Structure 1
Amino acid sequence: MAAPTIAIIGGGPCGLTLARLLECKGIDYVVYERDESENSNRVGGSLDIHPETGQHALREGGLFDEFKKYARYDDTVFALADKLGERLLQLGQGRDAPEIDRSDLRQILLDAIPKDKIKWGHALTSATAGEDNRPVLQFANGVVLSGFKLVVGADGAWSKVRPMITQATPQYSGKSFLESKIGHENPLYETTASKAGAGISLSIDSGKLIVTQRQGDGSYRNYFGLQVPEDFFRNGTVDLQDVEATRRLLLTDFYADWSEEYKDLIRHATDLRAWPLYTLSTEDMDWKSVPGLTLVGDAAHLSITNGEGVNLAMTDSLKLASKIAEHGTENFDQAVQEYEADMFPRGIATINKGKVMANVMFSEDPQASLQLMNSWEAAE
């Protein structure tokens, strides 16, 4: 049996957006996803989808009406406070950037793709050049595949496709988030809901931060932003399985002088998960196009979180699908070259924006964030 024309590595929002757009254009493809099934990975928080990028891709894929069923337009509000809980800024009400849970967005895309177009349980371990210089894909389940006219790495920060294109590797930013949850059953839930309300609350001070964000089911995710070594959560310094010990560490070593309302978020934190923040360098965004290969999303331009990630990834997918349709499946190389020339500036911009965001979010004084947010609001 002949290999599908295009192999998409990764079944997150980026890879699935590309799949849906190719499906709409009648272009042959298959998605290889590491998860064992569509129900095996439900991690991930809430995403704001912007009109000119993420929403545009959904419209092109015929999925905007379905998206609106899950989109939360009341969660666009953003509040900024200091470590004592004094609110400094509130904005975003009515902004056209509704929130949606990552799992809901993924399901919308999955439901719009034929079941046989997604191969579950295929974790890519390596991509190497075959005798014809085209990619040979080796998967952890022992499957080896080749013969694709184009392989698209939509496999995130630690892409296994990227090394065939560039030697760029993610660099640790010196900053990490510790994610936790306040669910409906949590004793602190009612208090959190009454204080945090809709949208996102960000508290910054002393080089640390706390983000509280409402989810689609009404629960809250909290993100404790810390400046710690890369292996802080992996070398035994912190055992996240020992929840009480982790809470004590946060209370004594990081948030001792924060207000009691923030300390309560720590005292009741559950479902702890570490999220180290990595980025590629802008200098990495200059690779030469490689026949039969390209990258989209974080695989191409990983940045520190800045509110643009999924939107930029979906834009990559839209632009690539459009170029493929324009040039036809017999001229992938030209399509990829033009797509990458268009993508590089976007990648550089988001990497730079991530660094700016990190500097202000982890600043000693929330005034830096206040000034940045006000400038963005004025620009809109």
Structure 2
Amino acid sequence: MRIAIAGGGLGGLTLARILHRHGIDPVVYEREASRSARGQGGSLDLHPESGQKALAEAGLAGRFRSAARPEGEEHRILDPAGRLLVHHKPQPGSFAGRPEIDRSVLRDLLLDSLPGDTVAWRHRLVAATPRPGGGFGLTFHDGQRADCDILVGADGARSVVRPLLTDVQPAYVSTVVELSISDADRCHPDLAELVGPGNLWCVGVNQILSAQRLGDGSIRVGISVHAEDRDLDGYRSKRTLREMFDGWNARLTALIEAADGGPRPHRIEAMPAGTRWAHQPGITLIGDAAHLMPPVGEGANQAMLDAAELAGALAANPAEPDSAIRAYEAAMFHRAEQVAEMSARVQAMMLSPTAADDIVRFFTLRPKPAGAPDASSLGG
């Protein structure tokens, strides 16, 4: 069973790791040149029922606990005047909730758990063609080719594999602008104290200014606003961003001023909740390729759970991989629809005129309720 995984993100690597544990060695085709070719973004909180469950299936729960930062669960919610609305502090050293881990650290943990030849770097998939006898012929950007019996699209929002199964396209739902502050404790101790060891949200009308402490001591700043017609270039100057937050407490807008380099805006997209496709032999999708959702803390967790469930199905029924894929898809469609609907509701709540009241009510009814938005997602 020659399995090709398009995409070496968290979902694709989790799938490869669990398959490897079951004696099945896939090839992961990754467009990047190496593991250090680009930054992997901020941190994320791994949920016990999804991301942590997948890592347990991968035999990596212990390594995760060694690398994670339970103190990163701390979050503060402020209003534009700088008044503290909510302050959630986890129990010191507790892994009972959703501990944070930097995306780069988690990706390295997964990569280090795989044989060195599992990932084929510099392989950007440009086409997959069904073969007459089953399986797929793969073509990469430099003309290289490969064959596989099973193709798994783990290649994210702009998946090349997805069009083989469905013509559904992601829709633009919001804009996020990212900034970074290096060595915050030494260079900006006041901002380091403001953000704390975890996440900060400053919630206004139809916009959020967020900040997140990473394991290397830097702070990742995110600005979230509604989808709008403005060209992304309109968000590339700090002056424009300051004007967006005119009247806000200067201690909050200092997060923009202190950032190194220029702002990095990008559009956030999502697929319709309930996206499905008719089963086709030898091919399926996981993660954002299958169910791209608004970034409210579920994307990576769901991708890793997809990987665990697909790997488990294939390992349990290696003689009938199509039956395994059918079973995985049926369960995934049902689960992903519910999570996508919840994510869309949370996204709408966070960027509403009454967001501050709604979010405070959300968190004070039950601390960190199931399905609660995670501040680590607000920067993209």
The TM-score with structure 1 as length reference comes to: 0.91
Moved more, 59-68 or 314-323: 59-68
Shift in Å at residue 119 of structure 1? 0.3
Moved more, 40-49 or 291-300: 40-49
Whether 1:255 and 2:245 are equivalent positions in the alignment is yes
Shift in Å at residue 167 of structure 1? 0.7
Does the CA-based 8 Å contact 2:184-2:219 persist in structure 1?
no
Q: Note the alpha carbon deviations across 1:159-195, whole angstroms, 9 max, x for none.
A: 100000111111101x111011111169862111111
Whether 1:348 and 2:341 are equivalent positions in the alignment is no
Paired with 2:29 and 2:368, the residues of 1 have a C-alpha distance of 43
Does the CA-based 8 Å contact 1:178-1:223 persist in structure 2?
yes
Whether 1:149 and 2:146 are equivalent positions in the alignment is no
Paired with 1:363 and 1:124, the residues of 2 have a C-alpha distance of 39
Aligned to 1:243: none
In the TM superposition, 1:1-380 aligns within 5 A as 5-91=2-88, 93-94=90-91, 96-132=97-133, 134-146=135-147, 148-173=148-173, 175-184=174-183, 189-229=188-228, 232-233=231-232, 236-238=233-235, 240=236, 246-252=237-243, 254-271=244-261, 272-284=263-275, 286-328=276-318, 330-365=319-354, 366-375=356-365, 377=367, 379=369
Shift in Å at residue 307 of structure 1? 1.1
Q: After the TM superposition, which segments of 4 or more aligned residues of structure 1 sit over 6 Å from their partners? A: none
**Cα distance 1:137–1:231, how it changes in 2: closer, same or farther (>3 A)?**
farther
AA aligned opposite 1:108: L
Structure 1: runs of 5+ lacking an equivalent? 241-245
**Cα distance 1:229–1:83, how it changes in 2: closer, same or farther (>3 A)?**
same
Does the CA-based 8 Å contact 1:306-1:353 persist in structure 2?
no
AA aligned opposite 2:241: L
**Cα distance 1:368–1:61, how it changes in 2: closer, same or farther (>3 A)?**
same
Does the CA-based 8 Å contact 1:204-1:210 persist in structure 2?
yes
**Cα distance 1:275–1:316, how it changes in 2: closer, same or farther (>3 A)?**
same
**Cα distance 1:332–1:231, how it changes in 2: closer, same or farther (>3 A)?**
farther
Paired with 1:149 and 1:375, the residues of 2 have a C-alpha distance of 50
Q: Note the alpha carbon deviations across 1:311-352, whole angstroms, 9 max, x for none.
A: 111110000011001111x31110000000010122112221
Does the CA-based 8 Å contact 2:42-2:103 persist in structure 1?
yes
Does the CA-based 8 Å contact 1:6-1:29 persist in structure 2?
yes
Does the CA-based 8 Å contact 2:73-2:100 persist in structure 1?
yes
- Across the two proteins, how many residue pairs are aligned to each other? 364
AA aligned opposite 2:149: K
Paired with 2:187 and 2:206, the residues of 1 have a C-alpha distance of 26
**Cα distance 1:180–1:379, how it changes in 2: closer, same or farther (>3 A)?**
closer
Does the CA-based 8 Å contact 1:230-1:276 persist in structure 2?
no
Paired with 2:146 and 2:59, the residues of 1 have a C-alpha distance of 31
Shift in Å at residue 371 of structure 1? 1.9
The root-mean-square deviation of aligned C-alpha atoms, in Å, is 1.8
Q: Note the alpha carbon deviations across 1:100-121, whole angstroms, 9 max, x for none.
A: 1100000000001011111000
Shift in Å at residue 361 of structure 1? 1.2
AA aligned opposite 1:232: D
Does the CA-based 8 Å contact 1:172-1:230 persist in structure 2?
no
The 3-state SS of whatever aligns with 1:103 is helix
The TM-score with structure 2 as length reference comes to: 0.91
Shift in Å at residue 305 of structure 1? 0.8
Paired with 1:56 and 1:228, the residues of 2 have a C-alpha distance of 34
Shift in Å at residue 52 of structure 1? 2.0
Does the CA-based 8 Å contact 2:185-2:192 persist in structure 1?
no
Q: Note the alpha carbon deviations across 1:271-302, whole angstroms, 9 max, x for none.
A: 43223211000242x21111110000111110
Does the CA-based 8 Å contact 1:186-1:268 persist in structure 2?
no
Does the CA-based 8 Å contact 1:72-1:99 persist in structure 2?
yes
Does the CA-based 8 Å contact 1:6-1:151 persist in structure 2?
yes
**Cα distance 1:378–1:19, how it changes in 2: closer, same or farther (>3 A)?**
closer
Does the CA-based 8 Å contact 1:177-1:275 persist in structure 2?
yes
The 3-state SS of whatever aligns with 1:96 is coil
The 3-state SS of whatever aligns with 2:55 is helix
Does the CA-based 8 Å contact 1:8-1:31 persist in structure 2?
yes
Q: Note the alpha carbon deviations across 1:191-226, whole angstroms, 9 max, x for none.
A: 111111111111111111011111011211110112
Identity %: 35
Paired with 1:132 and 1:167, the residues of 2 have a C-alpha distance of 25
